[in-house]
Amino acid sequence: MSGTRVVEADVGTDEPGGLRALPVEMSGLLEGLQGDARRDRAALIAWLLGRGFRADQIRGSLAPMMLPANRMMGDYGLYVSAREMSQMTGVDVELLQKLQRAVGLPRIDDPDAAVLSRVDAEAAACTTFFVEFGIDAEEAVALVRVLMEGLHRAVATMQETAYRMLVRPGASEVELAQVAEALARQAMPRIGPMIEGLLLLEFRRMFEAEGIGAAERATGRLPGARQVAVAFADLVGFTQLGEALAPEELARLASRFAELAHDVVVAPVWFIKTIGDAVMLVSPEPVVLVNTVLELVEVAAATSGLPQLRAGVATGLAVSHGGDWYGSPVNMASRVTGVAGHGTVLVTESVRESVGGAEGFEWSSAGTHHLKGIPGPVELFRVSRAPH
């Protein structure tokens, strides 16, 4: 590779465009590398140069073998400052910097420093849609942060699979670059529509739930509604676990929990769905549902490596549509779960009355709570197994 030459910018030379050709060995791109690693990197550099990458791009990349894949994803090695992006979009520079940090870009104190990847800065600027839509700026920043946490978890979960596909024992850097570029080329046309489709799916669910809720509030009833008990159970501290565990391990925990719930649930209790680290159960018989939820909490507590559960149960009129359930008890059960303690099952007063004097339960007051989105105070009760 000693004959390979690198084009370097060198203003003031006699060559056209102020460029001077230097051998790879003299370019500094191989500094600190020895033996096979040096030869491998020299081959990669030659390959990248042949694909149109500049020496400064190669030098500035921590993983130059990923340059072709990144280019497939829109990164052409262009950089902008926060102020430049502000001028291009018409968005206040301070708000733009907050949104950039919310999507995970590094904090750049100098708004005139052109150190942000243009494609990343443009992606962050797109999130100003929330502000333009009418959402308060601080709420928009918080919303973007939550959105990015979910996307990061999804991408990181896929990382292990991608790593197995990319890293073949003994693969050269050129081979890694070629495989990564090919994967990006195959994935890019489909990832955007997939994310869009799933996001719209969630919006449709949200609009439907809100519409059903509005109809219920306006008329006091839901056409086709049935009296059911609804329960949610989730893993305690799941968000905090994300700081200590790899995303793929978090995904395994959530999957393991869902499998446990499937094993515990039998008719007339129905497993409805998983929502992140939570499961939703429905039954026309409150006694059976409460018993099932207590069993699920006990099984989870006895399962090595699984965090404790917390659960909430409510009753009321709900309607089934498309395999899901809508109505006030769904929202109530979700909110009750949010205030339950570790290993605790909380129920509403209506559940307590429905279960009545059924044997096998022990009750205690959990006090009155003000739950988000629920008008007025809500009386809650703690339920557990009665001692034998």
Q: What is the pLDDT of residues 68-102, one digit of tens each?
A: 988 998 888 888 888 998 888 888 888 888 888 88
Residue found by looking up tokens 């990197």 in the block: 41
Residue 213: predicted pLDDT? 61
According to CATH, the topology of domain 221-385 is: Alpha-Beta Plaits (3.30.70)
Report the mean per-residue pLDDT for the chain.
82
Under 8 Å between Cβ of 238 and 307: yes
7, β-bridge pairs: 21
Regarding predicted confidence, which is higher, 366 or 179?
A: 366
pTM score: 0.56
52: left (phi over 0), alpha (psi -120 to 50) or beta: left
Regarding predicted confidence, which is higher, 373 or 167?
A: 373
Task: Output the six-digit token pair for 53.
Answer: 């990458």
Burial class (CB in 10 A: 0-12, 13-18, 19+), 67: buried
Q: CA 217, CA 373: separation in Å to the nearest integer?
A: 13
- The answer to whether residue 22 scores a pLDDT higher than 50 is no
Residue 34: predicted pLDDT? 85
93-107, 123-137, 148-162: range with lowest mean pLDDT = 148-162
Outline where the chain has alpha helix (H): 24-27, 35-50, 55-60, 67-72, 82-89, 93-102, 118-126, 129-132, 137-166, 173-219, 238-241, 247-264, 286-301, 328-339, 349-355
Residue 244: predicted pLDDT? 58
Which residues touch 308 (CB under 8 Å, ≥6 apart)?
235, 236, 297, 300, 301, 342, 343
Burial class (CB in 10 A: 0-12, 13-18, 19+), 235: buried
**Percent of the chain's residues with pLDDT above 90:** 25
Q: Do you find a cis peptide bond into 268, omega within 30 degrees of 0? A: yes
Task: Output the six-digit token pair for 349.
Answer: 């007063």
Q: Domain map of the chain by residue range?
A: 5-60, 79-203, 221-385
- The answer to whether residue 14 scores a pLDDT higher than 90 is no
Task: Output the six-digit token pair for 29.
Answer: 């791109």
- The answer to whether residue 314 scores a pLDDT higher than 70 is yes
Under 8 Å between Cβ of 188 and 198: no
**Percent of the chain's residues with pLDDT above 70:** 83
| Residue among 307, 68, 47 at smallest CA distance from 182 | 68
Cβ count within 10 A of residue 300: 22
Residues 34-42 have a mean pLDDT of: 87
